[in-house]
Amino acid sequence: MPVTIKSAREIELMTKAGEILALVHKELEKGLRAGMSTWDVDRLGEEVIRSYGCEPSFLNYNGYPASICVSLNHEVVHGIPSKKRIIKEGDIVSLDAGVIYKGYHSDAARTHAVGEVSQEAKDLIRITKESFFEGIKYAKEGNHLFDISRAIGAYAEKFGYGVVRDLCGHGIGMHLHEDPEIPNYQMQRRGMRLKAGMTLAIEPMINIGTWQVDWLDDDWTVVTRDGSLSAHYENTVLITEDEPKLLTVI
């Protein structure tokens, strides 16, 4: 599929989809606490999404059975909510969510600490977020797509972290996943030239240890191969002629 350039009308709808998702993440962060199951987190998220008149974009996407991906500790992404999975003090919890507003998608992820967590967990969460902001310094018309990738990867690797390679960011709009694919590590090619009106979900997934990951038998949950902690930070971003707009941050 060609990469789409969104019209002013489409940007308006995606801006709204992004604002709502930012509010959903705020509610999830407020509600998250030890003793909850990951299923409770999904219930809360879906309820908030629907209260804004949106649809959860992950529900039934390629058969994914929930609205929020809830991934604990060494789980990288796509954890499936379960009543049996109880969140404990000291866990780090990655929450990935998407909403559809009038046919347009937004996608964003955050990793939260529950109660007091280790210093190394705090550092991982912070540096993962910082790597996203290093990347979007290059998210501007005229630059190349993989300038973003290189900046994210180089930043995280400076701290000795493993940058997940099996999963990437992506274009977004009328579909959750559109072209282009956006790796979080250095590519030899420069990638496509960025143009105003592109909407991209940029999402570093960073591990304390190796970059290598495995898929569990549920066919969804991605875990670090060495069992080390992993963090995720994602926003839906609009490319402009000037600074990028973070549609999922308010």
Could you tell me the two tokens for 21?
A: 């998702």
Lay out the site mask for ligand MF3 across 105-134 (x = CB under 6 A, - = otherwise). Answer: --x-x-------------------------
Residues 15 and 89: their CA atoms lie apart, in Å, by 35
- The site string for Co ion over 209-248 (x = CB under 5 A, - otherwise) reads ----------------------------------------
In the list 30, 62, 84, 116, the residue contacting ligand MF3 (rule: CB under 6 A) is 62
Q: 147: Cβ–Cβ under 8 A, 6 or more apart, which residues?
A: 138, 190, 191
Facing residues of 110 across strands?
A: 95
- CB atoms near residue 60 (< 10 Å): 12
Token pair for 238: 């609009």
Q: Which does 119 bind (CB under 5 to 8 A by kind): Co ion, ligand MF3, none?
A: none
Q: How much is the CA Rg of the chain, to the nearest whole Å?
A: 17
For 140, other C-beta atoms within 10 Å of its C-beta total 17
Q: Is 201 in the site for Co ion (CB under 5 A)?
A: yes
Q: How far from 48 is each of 66, 89, 123, CA to CA, in Å?
A: 14, 24, 30
Single out the segment in contact with ligand MF3 by CB under 6 A; choices: 22-30, 31-39, 55-63, 182-190: 55-63
CB 170 within 8 A of CB 181: yes
Q: Which stretch binds Co ion (CB under 5 A): 17-25, 26-34, 78-86, 106-114?
A: 106-114
- Of the pair 64, 133, the CB lying nearest ligand MF3 is at 64
Q: x-or-dash pattern for ligand MF3, window 63-82, by CB under 6 A?
A: -x----x--------x----
Which span sits near ligand MF3 by CB under 6 A: 60-68, 87-95, 137-145, 207-215? 60-68
Report the residue from 107, 134, 147, 178 that binds Co ion according to the rule CB under 5 A: 107
- The answer to whether residue 200 forms part of the interface with Co ion (CB under 5 A) is no
**Listed residue (39, 92, 87, 84) closest to 66, CA to CA:** 39
Q: Give the shortest CB-194-to-ligand MF3 separation in angstroms.
A: 19
The residue assigned the tokens 């496509």 is 192
